[in-house]
Every structure is written in C-alpha cells, then in structure tokens.
Amino acid sequence: MASSPPSSAPFSSSEEATTSSNDGSAVQSLKYSRRASLRSVVGRPDGGRGLAGKRAVVGGWVKSSNTVKAKLAGPVSPARMPTTETTTGLTCTEVLMARVPLIRCFARLIGGAADVDRASSVSFKLATGTALMRINDGSCVADLQIVVDSSLCPLKQVTAIGACVLVEGKIELVEGRSQQHVVELRVDKVLHVGTVDIDKYPPSNVELPPPELVKDYPQLATRTTAMASVARVRSEMLHAAHAFFQTNGFFHVNTPIITATTVAGDRSKMFRVMRLESKSDNRAITPEVVRASIKAKTKQIEALNRSESNKEALEAAKLDLQRANELARQLEQQGNADFSDDFFQHPVYLSPDHTLHLETYACALSSVYTFSPVFQAESLERHKHLAERWTIDAELAFAELEDAISCAEDCLMWLLSTVSKNCSDELKFLSNGENNGYFSHIEPAVSSPWERITYNAAVNTLLQVREKSFKAKVELGTPLSHEHMSYLVDDHYKKPVIIYEYPKELKPFYARLMEDGTKVSAFDIVVPKVGTIAYGTQKEERMDNFTARIDELRLPRDHLESYLDIRRHGTVKHSGFSIDIERLIFLVTCLSDIRDVKPFQRTKSNAKC
C-alpha cells in the first residue's frame, strides 16, 4: 500500500516547470510532472557534475540500497534534532534523552524506565542511520544515488528493492569514491513512498535470469535495466522511422487488425476471431474442432504404436485420422461452417500481414506506411518466432522493385545509424561484456553499400562451398534456409545482403511475374547474426497475369475481389516492403533470444497479461 507524506499543491499552469533553490538556481523539470527526469541529471554527458549545489525533485524505483548505522555517541546535527511538534509535552530531561542516547542509558540504570520509553518513542524519529539507495525512473541507463536519513522516514519502507520514492533534495558531488556515481542527491524531503511486499517482490527475493523474469512476471520485467533499455531502443527506432517516412513524402495510415481476406493462402497458420457463446459453435463443426480431433487421434496412434498391440484399434484410429484430415481440408476450402449467428457472419482472422489494405491506400495516396501488429500461429523455433510481432510496412505507387529495395535499404540504414547514435548507453549496457564489438553488427550496415545478388547467384555461391556442409540441401528452386543465409552474410560477404529475383513458387501469388515466366520481382534483406529482417515485392498489376496466378494456386476468387478491384480500376505499378521490428531490435541489442525484446511476449503456450 502506497503512503504519501503531505506535500504542497501541484504547479499551476502558469508556473515554470522547474525545481528552484533559494539562490535562484534550478534543475529543469518535466513539463507534466513535478520532478526532473534522471536523464536530465545523471544522463548528462558530465554525469550531473554541472548541477552540483542545485536542488531537484526526483522519483524512481529502488534498484539497490545500503544502510549505514549512525554512531551512538557524538553531537547530533540539526537535521537529526526532534522538531518542535515532536517534543511538545516532553520535559527538558526527556528532550535530552531523546537527543542523546547515552543519557537514556544512564536514566534506565537509575530507574527512570517510563521516562526512557517516552523519550525513545521520539528518538525513533531521530537519525539512527542513513540509507544509500540507487533509484531509476526508466529514462536512462544510469541510476541516481540518493542519501536518505532515517529522521525523514522509516528506512525499511524506502530501502526495499522495488519501492517507489519521490524525494526532494540537493545535488552534491560524490567525493573520494569510484566514478560510478559522479553526483548524489542529499534528500531533505520525502514526498511519496510506494511500498512493496519484500517477501513477494520477485526481483528482490529470487535472482531470476531475465528470460524467466519476462516469462513469469512480465508486469515487472520493464523495471530491469535490460528490458527498460530495450524499450527505449524500440521507442527511438519508431521515432526514427516516422522521421524517415515523413521527410520522404509518405503518409502514415492505420490498417485493420481483423481481416476477412488473407493473401497468405495458408489459413492453418492464422488465428480465427469468433464471438464467445456464438450459436455457430454448437450448430456446425468448425475447422478448429476438426484439428483438435486430428491432434487427439495422432496421439492415440502414437500410443498404440508404442504398445505394439491391438492392431485392429490401430487400424481404426488411422482410418479416423484419414477421415478427419479430409474433413479439415473440405472445411478450409469450402467454408462449410455456419456463421450466420456470429458477430461478423463470416470467417475473420487476425491479420498475418497488411499488404492488401496498404495497397488500397497507396493506390490513392501514392506513398504510405504503417506500424501494425501481425499474427501467425507457428511454433517452430520459439527463440526466433513470436506469435504477435510488429512490422513497419510501406507501399509506393508508381514504383518498381528497384525503388522498393532502395527505399528499404535507406530506411534500415537510417534506423540503425540513429539508434546507434542516440541509444549508445543502452547498446553498451546490453552488450554485457561478451559482445563488446556490438557495433560490428551495425557499422558494416551503415558504412558501405549492401551486397545485392540474385537468388540464382546465391544458390551458386552456396554450391561452391567446400569447407563446410549444410544440413539442408542446396539446389535451385528450394528455399534458402537460415543456415544458408547465415553463411552468405556472416562468412562470405560479411555484411547485409539483398537477395532478389526468386522463383515464383517461393514467393506470394501477388509478386509480379518477370518476363521469363519463372521468376518474380521479390527480395529479402538478410543481416548478420539474425537472418531476414525485411522482405518486399513489386506487385502484379496486370490483370491477366494476376488472375492466372490465382487460378494456378487454386485460391478462392471470392475472397480476393477487393484485391482484384485495385487492378480493375486505375491500375498502377506499385511496390512495397515490410520490416520486422522485433528482429531489427534483436540485431542492435545483441540479445540471445528474440522473446527478450518485449515483456508481453506472445508465443505458443504463453500469453500472460
């Protein structure tokens, strides 16, 4: 339960957003908060040295603390004296006992226990120790050390790890100590204390590694320096992306998260959206129900195979599985489920991409971009895959593949250089000693042009490799695995690589068919250590080629009518690309697991908070 000591009224709208001292000096405070951010104090290039002697109000959460016990003998400083209000009603002797512990000892020896007890209740409020605490408000990597005297409040409340404090005091230079702290705040007012349950606060009673903390306590994960640093990197990256597109003539638009049309083709990897307690759940067999039955039958067959008995039951289970698979295919293709009572009255999904809706905007506004979440129900390689991730998508009208590649390359270079410049403290902290060369991921990307090769050239390069063998077979017409791409960018070219002109079978149906009829205008951008962080295509604008491709893949035409309208009415050559934000953050932060780039991660069997 939080306790808030009395404080003065909030600043009025006409007052300056500063914290002033008696001599007129001031520390810049936040416009909408009665405090200065730690970034404006210890986040300065001089570590706050230039603010020494000035007063400030700061707040934050306690990261660590150390209590120094006061000596029993010696003079009592004025700051530790009981206030007039505290000593009202005490005799002169009781006041002396409250002020000087040695006098209390003599009084107890001569039998004045009652007077000693009364004086002790006051002396509890006097200085019995001093707490050195490191606090952080999330605005920067550096912590601020604050010094709190026990005469101000019970130290047990403010020294607990995770406690929130708002304090006022004077900034002083730290003399004769390590350079970890250049300045500290000598507190003379405690304005707020948000207490914690020490026994139940996870970061204090258990030393959990960051991945476990994120998984089990996402609501507290951002209080760790690592997750807070990642969050600031993400914020800077999105701000830089807005700056890039806005200065290059793009309009920001919002695309739907719920969609009835998918250009992905494989709906088994999509999340269906349905209203709870819909009658359609009971009136028809849905694909989800059939897939659950398939899963159960598969487990039953595995168990029967291990037992090596009851062959009749095994054959019956295999037959049931075959029928269930056939029913699932029929439901997916024909859409037999009854959705008349459902909210949308037809199947809808969480969007796996934003190509369709972004193209609609581009064919009216010319150049557009969006930040949106995408969803994909795929559980392979958990450390590299998130069910919910965010992407930067852009679409350019009157543009061909080369235009989209150049735009994507420039955008990524801009983001990488901006983040490396403005988040250097965060990147240094996240490099954690093992990756002191963290700029090795960034410098090649911003210091020289990226390598551009065709898919065929990439395969031929891999076929000539003799010093190592690949697990996945290398041959024309097959997808390049993560291992293949890693070799190209990490070992062969040692910098980002743009691979383009893919076989049409390896890219979406909307990719523009090239003149040879076998390849399409599509590209991937692959970077060291991470893999593919961006991909894009020039869209097929020719109606005949587009419909032929749809028919070739046997895609449902009725679901693509709105997509076809873009080609029917005022068609234009247009191209676009998508940047995976999580993978880009994964690259610059040098984390070991992509799930660590966000506290509220959505992966298979995990969706807390």
Summarize pLDDT for 292-318 with one digit per residue, the tens. 778 888 887 777 777 666 677 777 777
Count Cβ atoms below 10 Å from residue 539 Cβ, excluding itself.
29
Integer-rounded Cα radius of gyration of the chain: 32
Least confident of 155-169, 196-210, 224-238, 550-564: 196-210
Least confident span in 54-68, 432-446, 452-466, 497-511: 432-446
Residue with tokens 């062969």: 492
| Angstrom distances, CA of residue 228 to CA of 100, 439, 543, 549 | 46, 20, 49, 47
pTM of the model: 0.75
Classify residue 396 as exposed, middle or buried by CB count within 10 Å of its CB (0-12, 13-18, 19+).
buried
Name residues whose C-beta falls within 8 Å of residue 211's C-beta, 6 or more positions apart in sequence: 593, 595, 596
Q: pLDDT by residue (tens digit) across 193-227? A: 999 888 888 776 555 666 667 677 778 888 888 88
pLDDT higher than threshold 80 for residue 96: no
Predicted local distance difference test score (pLDDT) of residue 392 = 95
pLDDT, residue 4, reads: 47
pLDDT at position 472, please?
84
Residue 157: band (very low, low, confident or very high) from pLDDT cuts 50, 70, 90: confident
How much is the average pLDDT of 367-384? 77
CB 593 within 8 A of CB 211: yes
* pLDDT greater than 80 at residue 189: yes
Best-predicted range by mean pLDDT among 49-53, 181-185, 365-369?
365-369
Interatomic CA distance for residues 347 and 286, integer angstroms: 10
Residues 6 or more apart whose CB falls under 8 angstroms from that of 383 comprise: 592, 593, 594, 595
Interatomic CA distance for residues 276 and 558, integer angstroms: 27
